[in-house]
Chain A
Amino acid sequence: MIRDITLGQYYPEYSIIHKLDPRLKLVVTLLYIASLFLIEDFYGYIIVAASIGGVLAASRVPLRFVVRGLKPIMLIIIFTFALNIFMTRGEVIWEYGWLHVTWEGLRMAFFMALRLILLIIGSSLLTLTTKPMKLTDGIESLLAPAKRLGLPTHELAMMMTIALRFIPTLLEETDKIMKAQQARGADFETGSIFRRAKALVPILIPLFVGAFRIAQDLAMAMEARCYRGGEGRTKLNALRMKRRDLAAAFACAGYLAGIIAERVLV
């Protein structure tokens, strides 16, 4: 059913990784992604893979959920892999017509694919272990300094919150409208792309009208509950760094030190 959809891909669990401060997780994820571009050799990849494997185990998110996150970009991975294999100059180890595979190409393709896979695993771990609401809070809090530069951080966060709240409602609405149109003989499944796109118009119009209605009602309801922007607002779940966040920050620092040391020393 359409109402069972989950947004993002949060995997509910009570692990230490789930409990970490979303701001910390965001920063660590960014540092982790940056670190992927620092490593160049096999040992570096071992450090990264071992670390992310450790985090994955600690998060208690089943591996298949992480692998599922890889599926949509499998095509991109395969494409870059092929591109790197055939397009890199160097010592030729196999040749067929204008196609040639080099030792350097093989190495490059392998590392690039690995890098992409590790990148996806790392960022899906963030969304798998952090509720969208928490992520929103984290982003708002991290962007807070940008408020002084005129970036409407509170408004952006509020928009994300409302989107998270209403996407399921609008999907339900879409479902209802589609069923109503189908009951009147509308056909969304056959015909040319053009025909099918045209069949969507009678869905989109009531949907937009409905969305505007909701927006109007909601704005009124928010005002009635004294909403007046981010100024002077408090938070039920104010983000607060705990001891475990400090520990995680140290672990992350250790990881980065390891990566850099490997790069310099080996």
Chain B
Amino acid sequence: MSGPPAADTGAVRAGCDRQDVNFKGQPYIEVRDLVFEYRRGSDTDGEPDVVMRAVDGVSLDVPRGSFTAIIGRNGSGKSTLAKNVNALFLPTSGSVTVDGMDTRDDAFVWEIRRRVGMVFQNPDNQLVSAVVEDDVAFGPENLGVAPDEIRERVRAALIAVDMTEQRKMAPHLLSGGQKQRVAIAGVVAMRPDAIIFDEPTAMLDPEGRREVMDVIGRLRADGVTIVLITHFMDETVDADRVVIMDRGRIVLDGTPAEVFRRADEIESLGLRLPFAVELASRLRRRGIDVPAGLLTPEAVAGWLRGSAA
């Protein structure tokens, strides 16, 4: 990719001030002009042969306790951005701070990873142990937590994801949704402030998807800061904020109502609309004047019922 990481990418910052209304204080995660390049090729002459700019000048504030949904088509840089937040990757330029700690500072790396947990897409490739309970304990063990305390955390985490019954089972015998819940428990047991979910439901059936979204909803209610990367628009409608990425940049950013009002832009980015938004726009085309900003089927149904009465 080319072009300078311009400060103003032309993104529509519709919801910029809103954060200050709902969430006070310093943002928990601060991404400033982040650029990240994958470099491949010869190490011999020091100059990489291939440079792939996956994140191209992203600035993003995530307030404590908020729920941010990030969407964007394949290859738009979502996962790369996520991995920059907990220091799995370090910025090529720009900066990322978590609760004031810079990810480039070696002293903070482990504290940042403890505070910002991450759940990945593939349920099979993130569980370490052949026993559910032991897997949930993996994180706390790495942190050097005392065994009694680990036991308590594992118990609580398994309750939180409703997997207590399967605690002695082998992961390969669980369903995709169950495996993903175990992965979440493994993160919860580290007592993080924030969790980044990188397409946690992409490989699940509808049942598993619902289970995982229920768990995410409960974590949110408990005050955990949530960043959800997803391809399913309907998972984003009750987020505090929706961020749309394209080619390594943020192109739309605001509340779901604000963002999904821009139906044409979203469709031109190769993305679908949430079911209810799609439904409302089709109804509108048929002359039923459904107001904008109804994001769930229930809301549309409610409006229809109200207008019929």
Give the number of chain B interface residues (Cβ < 8 Å).
42
Q: Which of A164, A218, A220 contacts B88 (CB 8 A)?
A: A220
Is the beta-carbon distance between A234 and B172 smaller than 8 angstroms? Answer: no
The answer to whether A232 and B128 have CB atoms under 8 Å apart is no
The distance in angstroms between the C-alpha atoms of A93 and B178, with both chains bound, is: 68
Residues in B with CB closer than 8 Å to A223 are 88, 113
Q: Are A232 and B144 closer than 8 Å at their CB atoms?
A: yes
In whole angstroms, what is the CA distance A233 to B117 when docked? 18
Q: Mark A199-226, 1 if CB is under 8 A from B, else 0.
A: 0000000000000011001101111111
Tell me whether A236 is interfacial, beta carbon within 8 Å: yes
Q: Can you name the residue of chain A whose Cβ is closest to the Cβ of B127?
A: A165
Bound: A77/B154 CA distance, A = 48
B241 at the interface (CB under 8 A from A): no
Contacts of A162 in B (CB 8 A): 128
Task: Please judge, given known A-B contacts A226-B190, A235-B147, whether A165 and B88 are in contact too, CB under 8 Å.
Answer: no
Is there a chain B Cβ closer than 8 Å to A187's Cβ? no
Given that A224-B88, A224-B113, A226-B113 are known contacts, is A234 also in contact with B141, CB under 8 Å in the complex?
Answer: yes
Q: Given A233-B142, A237-B134: A172 and B172 within 8 A (CB)?
A: yes
**Pairwise interchain contact B147-A236, C-beta atoms closer than 8 A:** yes
User: With A224-B86, A226-B110, A236-B133 in contact, is A165–B128 under 8 Å at CB?
Assistant: yes
Asked whether B145 is an interface residue with its Cβ less than 8 Å from the other chain, the reply is yes
How many whole Å from A71's CB to the nearest CB in chain B?
A: 26
- Asked if A133 is at the interface (CB within 8 A of a chain B CB), the reply is yes
Partner of A133, one of B124, B131, B171: B131
Contacts known (A218-B128, A235-B147); A165 close to B138, Cβ less than 8 A: no
Also in contact, A218 and B126, with CB within 8 A (given A234-B144, A234-B150, A236-B150):
yes
Residues of B contacting A168 with CB < 8 Å?
Answer: 170, 172
B113-132 interface code vs A (CB 8 A; 1 in, 0 out): 11001101010111111110
- Of A161, A226, A228, most buried by chain B (CB within 10 Å of CB) is A226
A227 within 8 A of B: yes
**B301: interface (CB < 8 Å):** no
Are A3's CB and B186's CB within 8 A?
Answer: no
Q: A224 touching B117 by the CB < 8 A rule?
A: yes
Across-interface contacts of A213 in B (CB, < 8 A): 125
- Mask, B243-264, CB within 8 Å of A = 1, is 0000000000000000000000
Q: Is A141 an interface residue (CB 8 A)?
A: no
Docked-complex contact B125 and A228, CB < 8 angstroms: no
Q: Is B173 an interface residue (CB 8 A)?
A: yes
List of B residues within 8 angstroms of A161 by Cβ:
128-130
- CB of B120 within 8 A of CB of A217, answer yes
Please encode chain A, from 111 to 145, with 1 for each CB lying within 8 Å of some chain B CB and 0 for all others.
00000000000000000000111000000000000
- Does A183 sit at the interface, judged by CB under 8 A? no
- Which residues from B are CB-within-8-Å of A169? 124, 172
A265 within 8 A of B: no
Contact of A236 with B137 at beta-carbon distance under 8 Å, contacts A172-B172, A214-B125, A224-B86 already known: yes
CB distance from B119 to the nearest CB of A (A): 9
A224 to B82, CA, bound (A): 11
- For the complex, give the distance between the alpha carbons of A14 and B142 in Å: 30
- Among B126, B137, B139, the one with the most A-chain Cβ atoms within 10 Å of its Cβ is B126
Query: A132-B130, A165-B128, A234-B150 are contacts. A226–B170 as well, Cβ < 8 Å?
Result: no
- Residues in A neighbouring B134, C-beta threshold 8 A: 133, 236-237
Q: Across the interface, name the chain B residue whose C-beta is closest to A163.
A: B130
Interface string of B178-195 (1 = CB under 8 A from A): 000001001100100000
The minimal Cβ–Cβ distance linking A2 to chain B, given in whole angstroms, is 10
Taking CB atoms and an 8 Å cut-off, the chain B residues in 135-153 that contact chain A are 137-147, 150-151
B128 surroundings in chain A (CB, below 8 A): 161-162, 165, 218, 221-222, 225
Among all A-B residue pairs, the 4 with the closest Cβ atoms: A217-B125, A221-B126, A236-B137, A168-B172
Further 20 A-B residue pairs, CB within 8 A, beyond A213-B125, A218-B126: A132-B130, A172-B172, A214-B124, A220-B83, A220-B120, A221-B120, A221-B126, A223-B113, A224-B88, A224-B113, A225-B128, A225-B187, A225-B190, A226-B139, A227-B142, A233-B141, A233-B142, A234-B146, A234-B150, A237-B134
Task: Spell out B's residues near A (CB within 8 Å).
Answer: 83, 86, 88, 110, 113-114, 117-118, 120, 122, 124-131, 133-134, 137-147, 150-151, 154, 170-173, 183, 186-187, 190
